[in-house]
Amino acid sequence: MSVTLTQTQIIQSLGEALAWFEKERAWGVPAAELRHLTGRIGELFAAMITRGQMALETNQRGYDVVGADGSRISVKTVTSRHNITFKDSTLAQADRVMVLLLADDPDKGLSIEELIDEDRATFMARLSEVRNGDRTLYLPRPATAKPDHVLEVTDTARIDGYTLTRFENGSIRVDLDGVEVRPAKPALRHLAARLGVAVEAPSGLPKNTQQLGSHIIKAITAAGET
């Protein structure tokens, strides 16, 4: 039987689980081999946003979280947009279904995206007909859309022909002699070595592109080279 957790404990546990996931990924473990950890992250996230609790039994049949309003929530967490199967016999025991995407972006780091959060009746309309006791959810790939607005530049630094630009959303652009460098991470690592900037955070995890770029801009500014 699970222990009742406070909201603070749920948030702390979610942070610890995400940090462990990042460590495993930094050690080269494929996301597909971290399903148990991925599932736990999704359940903790669902419990946090619904102000609820984890289901009483491990591998509770039909649902994973009980929301503050008493709704029984089935949580599926994926690391890529692939088809997901649901047991038809257990879906009836859930009042609500959440499908979460744990995205490991090299530029932005780890994030949790809510793909679906619907009551069971609405969600059922998305699923295929029953086949061998299962129903399938087909997740469409997101359309690539260009932003319809111009982001404000918050910082700029130049060194050795490189221009580093940081935008208001935290993203980093690297140009070399006026031409954008993509991906930016190898160039940032080169500049980090040149400037003595650590490529890892104090936790030992590699910095993402946004973190590393921001720290390099600060180092260039501090050195008076911009």
Q: Please report how many Cα atoms fall inside a 13 Å half-sphere around the Cα of residue 134, on the Cβ side.
A: 8
Fold of 7-137: PvuII Endonuclease; Chain A (3.40.210)
Q: Specify the pTM.
A: 0.74
H/E segment holding residue 190: helix 185-195
Over 50: is that where the pLDDT of 1 sits? no
- In whole angstroms, how far apart are CA 149 and each of 71, 156, 175, 201? 39, 20, 21, 32
> Helices 185-195 and 209-223 sit at what angle, rounded to 10 degrees?
40
* Residue 60 confidence class, pLDDT cut points 50, 70, 90: low
Q: Where are the domains of the chain?
A: 7-137, 153-223
Report the alpha-carbon distance of residue 105 to residue 107 in Å, rounded.
5
Q: Give the tens place of pLDDT for each residue, 180-223.
A: 998 898 999 999 999 999 998 887 778 889 999 999 999 999 88
For residue 197, give Cα distances in angstroms to 119, 169, 212, 213: 49, 22, 8, 10
